Structure 1
Amino acid sequence: MKTLLTATAAALALSGCAQEAGISQSGAGSAALATGFGDATAINTQAMIDADGATAMLGTRFAAEVDSTVTFAFNSSQLDATAMAVLTTQANWIRQFPEVRFRVYGHTDLVGSAAYNKRLGLARANAVVNFLSTQGISRSRLEALVSFGETRPVIATQSPEQQNRRTVTEVSGFVKGAPMLLNGKYAAVIFREYVISAVPISGLSVSATGTLAGQE
């Protein structure tokens, strides 16, 4: 029992240090991107301090952890198997943060008229939203469907180009009226991230007494 209590105390101490390190204040309400142990608490704290900063922080993290883009066949808004696999990964990430909203941007290549391509970009964004909704994501959290049509190509070419025929999913903000304090659902996210991120660093482990020990 004494060993268990000591280990628990050490874990709590590490958690406190991680939370302190998770947010680096460089101005009123600003914060650097939190990485690793204590991320969820850092994000929750930042959301209460500065929602815009928290949105940017989560957006950076979303783009780093999952593929935010899917591509389409020429003149099509149908999702292929590769796109559905990417969107399934997106949905798994989105479910972890039930208070966060997302926006889907639709794009096309430069073949065809601007008006037609704007409609096609919107159809592609709708296809993504429809798929995410089948994965348990509320449509109310997909804040808006935006079509840039052919106006923002990845590769500037008049020829058909798959990289331009795409949608991009991005963090857009927080659900209006969502509680920003910790609750049971969000605490489960924190616990999961602590377990995943609490790994030994550079071959070192934390012993029951809270001291660092080398691994053989």
Structure 2
Amino acid sequence: MTKIKTTLVVAAMALAIAGCAKKRPAVLPPAPVDQNAGVDPNAGQTNPGDGAIVPGSDADFKRSVTSNTVHFGLDQYDIDPEARAILDSQAAWLQRYPNVRITIEGHCDERGTREYNLALGDRRANAAKNYLAARGVTADRMTVISYGKERPIALGSDEASYAQNRRAVTIVLG
């Protein structure tokens, strides 16, 4: 009888310890897919020019706005005057194309934990989204995603690289 009790106590302790184990972090979604890959951007146009940029496309967005990227200070997600100018140009372009949807990606530098950087990237992307919404871009056209430190644009471990990686990037979906 005591052997059964001992076995039950050990099994209960094992279940209690297993219940306290950290859960595996969620897997990041795949990289954005270029939905125009392999598609002729001039299809359906009557007299297309060679290499013409289609109005309302991501290429048109990148050509027309000051930048598709807003940079942030260390551990910050506030919109500074330089970011306002960039986002104002994005808002003006988005108002010309009211059917275009965008995703705003939040990114961080390599310092900090994965969880902290995912949360900070989310705050950065939402700060850009909220600014655009205040400038008249409807919120249902915008989605945000945080990649934290998982997708650096600069691979160095110095302040110049860190500064490039602390960003929010606006991607036109179509």
Once the two structures are superposed, the pairs formed by residues 68-83 of structure 1 within 5 Å of their partners are: 68-83=68-83
Q: Which residue of 1 aligns with 2:27?
A: none
In structure 1, distance between residues paired with 2:148 and 2:51: 31
- Consecutive unaligned residues of structure 1, counting only runs of 5 or more, are 1-18, 25-31, 44-57, 174-216
Residue 21 of structure 1 aligns to a residue in which SS? coil
| 1:133 partnered with 2:133 | yes
Q: In structure 2, do the counterparts of structure 1 residues 133 and 33 end up closer, same or farther at CA, with 3 Å as the change threshold?
A: farther
Q: Which residue of 1 aligns with 2:105?
A: 105
| Count of aligned pairs between the two proteins | 127
| 1:94 partnered with 2:120 | no
Q: Which has the higher helix share?
A: 1
In structure 2, distance between residues paired with 1:132 and 1:164: 21
2:52 maps to which of 25, 34, 46: 34
In structure 2, distance between residues paired with 1:92 and 1:102: 14
Q: Which stretches of structure 1, 4 residues or more, deviate above 2 A after TM superposition?
A: 32-35, 157-160
Q: Which residue of 2 aligns with 1:21?
A: 47
Q: Deviations over 1:5-57 (max 9, x none)?
A: xxxxxxxxxxxxxx5223x7xxxxxxx7534xxx65xx7xxxxxxxxxxxxxx
TM-score by length of 1: 0.55
Q: Which residue of 2 aligns with 1:150?
A: 149
How far does residue 130 in structure 1 lie from its aligned partner after superposition?
Answer: 0.3
Q: Deviations over 1:114-153 (max 9, x none)?
A: 11001100000000000000101000111x2111110111
TM-score by length of 2: 0.68
Q: Please report the RMSD computed on the Cα atoms of aligned residues, expressed in angstroms.
A: 1.8
Q: Percent identity of the aligned residues?
A: 35
- Consecutive unaligned residues of structure 2, counting only runs of 5 or more, are 1-44
